[in-house]
Structure 1
């Protein structure tokens, strides 16, 4: 390479603003990888895990520990209360503002999280959906109250199989939102996704961690057992008076609320946490596998190999 060409390549490398987005199923090791990347690139981390936002949720969300938080600067970890109304649109605005500031002094920033929609709004922006007659939502909410969530899930599976496989199917708000779009438009909710890609002032390089399903499931089961040992039940007890809040309609919390309400015994509640977490991990992988440009690594890949690949991709972008 000629001297000037080499200098230009270095200049382009230095000037490129890169968001390293670390994704993958729960319990795969995303937090540890994000910290190692932040330390290597001497940068900061923004979280795109929608349940780690909440101050009151520590054990059940596997939020970074104080030691992990001290290992690299973090943003959007336990910054709001479960009583705060906070949605994906607000997060997009907040995250882009933080990134704008961070990129003034950093060429690389790390984003980590398993909440696919929250990752997507940072990298691509919010999708545009048709307006919905309020009566449709009212009717769906009434049906939910009378006939339960399963009936709505079955209807969504019929109208939009792809959304059934990828959204948080155990979350009534998400199911009703997808259904109201299907009914109002006559088209699948999933057909409106990725129709409004926003312009960003940075390049996104997505790093995915994965493993064989048996390994993922074993890691999940062991993590749940660890959470129980660390005091998850006491954490849930402290939130009993707030269990009606949407933020607490979350795997690990809703099952233990059923135990505290006398509906299940503790052993069954824990088994349901494991089962529902495994289902969530499957949906996460389905969602993240849609991105063909993701660089996938096995969960136990050496950090040096991952960094070498990232630096090679940045330099050739």
Structure 2
């Protein structure tokens, strides 16, 4: 009898600890919604945006403004330098540790971010990949330098079309990681992505924001224009000496480095930022649509209706 009571107590604890994960394409309004939910539930926000981690990157990452940061307690915003080596594995460990701490005094925590791999690392845990010969990575890095990133993208498209459509192929680190697994194992990188999840001491409710493609693209274009008026070019210029760092191989930065290096005109660089951001948004949606349990809402949906849906969904965990 005592044993059953103890087991039930543990089960009830797990079932009542809820992580609300807000996902969707860039510029859709995830930050604004996360703050409204955090204020309603009286809780903190964990950022799962892999570029908002870096303290030198404010404007180009659309990081929360000082007033937004003051509206709710945020974690994993500007806590690293672009010079730090910080992996998704590091984030998984630190985020789970933070959640354990937050859940000691809260039943609900909000997580928000458009970096699908980082979101999945917290919710599901990272997949285990076999070791491959390190010379493969060396060879791929050499190819990147000599032939450019497009050559590696084409190679991944041939070896693993599924991964080509879902991973951030503009990120050379992720691209090379997928390719070295394909080459080293002679199997697609996507075949190692597990459907099994690590056990977590919480349940997750995923809220997705979306809109018609034309609306998403228009919001992206307007955001890029706003970033430029806010001083994005000066932010990038201040980081030009560090442009070789992986953290800065990011949409909005790498294109303006081309302008600063006299390779592109400013107008062309801006058009490339908009184009590459639109492509990124398309990949985000492809990634997030894989989760069939996501509750999707139009980006204009009143937060009160989303809160009602979350409350109803939570009841299923408690019965």
Q: TM-score, normalised by structure 2?
A: 0.94
- Asked if residue 84 in structure 1 is aligned to residue 84 in structure 2, the reply is yes
2:74 corresponds to 1:74 = yes
The answer as to 2:150 corresponding to 1:168 is no
Tell me which residue corresponds to 1:244. 244
Partners in 1 of 2:51 and 2:141 — Cα distance?
Answer: 24
Measured in 2, the distance between the counterparts of 1:176 and 1:80 equals 23
- How far apart are residue 194 of structure 1 and its match? 2.3
In structure 2, the partner of 1:254 is 254
Distance 1:72 1:17 in 2: 19
Q: What SS does the aligned partner of 1:255 have?
A: helix
Which residue in the other structure is 2:285 paired with? 285
Structure 1 window deviating more from structure 2 (128-137 vs 282-291): it is 128-137
Matches of residues 13-92 of structure 1 in structure 2 within 5 Å?
Answer: 16-92=16-92
Tell me by how many angstroms 1:196 deviates. 5.0
What number of residue pairs does the alignment pair up?
308
Aligned equivalents of 1:249 and 1:296: distance in 2? 31
Distance 1:257 1:179 in 2: 26
Deviation at 1:12, TM superposition (A): 5.6
Spell out the pairing of 1:139-178 with structure 2 (5 A cutoff).
Answer: 139-178=139-178
Distance 1:196 1:127, change over 3 A: farther
The residue that corresponds to 2:4 in the other structure is none
Q: Is the 8 A contact 1:55 1:79 kept in 2?
A: yes
Structure 1 pair 36/14, CA: closer, same or farther in 2 (3 Å)? Answer: farther
Contact 2:19 2:205 in 1 (8 A): yes
Quote the Cα distance in structure 1 between the aligned partners of 2:66 and 2:273. 25
Deviations 1:106-144 (A, max 9, x none): 000000000000000000111010111112112212222
- Offset at 1:176? 1.1
Does the aligned pair in 2 maintain the 1:126–1:196 contact within 8 Å?
no
Give 1:224 shift: 0.2
1: CA distance, partners of 2:304 / 2:193: 35
Note the aligned Cα RMSD (angstroms). 1.5
Q: Which runs of 5+ in 1 are unaligned?
A: 1-7
SS in 2 for 1:283: helix
The aligned counterpart of 1:112 is: 112
Distance in 2, matches of 1:316 and 1:171, equals: 39
Unmatched 5+ stretches in structure 2: 1-7
CA distance in 1: counterparts of 2:83 and 2:12, whole angstroms: 45
TM-score (norm. length: structure 1): 0.95
Output the CA distance in 1 between the equivalents of 2:15 and 2:120.
24
Q: Partners of 1:33 and 1:271 in 2: how far apart?
A: 29
Q: How far apart, in 1, do the equivalents of 2:14 and 2:71 lie?
A: 24
Alpha-carbon distance between aligned partners in 2 of 1:196 and 1:203, rounded to the nearest angstrom = 15
Instruction: List structure 1 segments (4+ residues) > 4 angstroms apart after TM superposition.
Output: 11-15
Instruction: Mark the CA change 1:15 to 1:294 in structure 2 (over 3 Å): closer, same or farther.
Output: closer
Alignment of 1:98-247 (within 5 A): 98-195=98-195, 197-247=197-247
Counterpart Cα distance in 1 of 2:136 and 2:228 = 41
Whole-Å separation in 2 of the counterparts to 1:166 and 1:113: 16
Contact 1:44 1:73 in 2 (8 A): yes
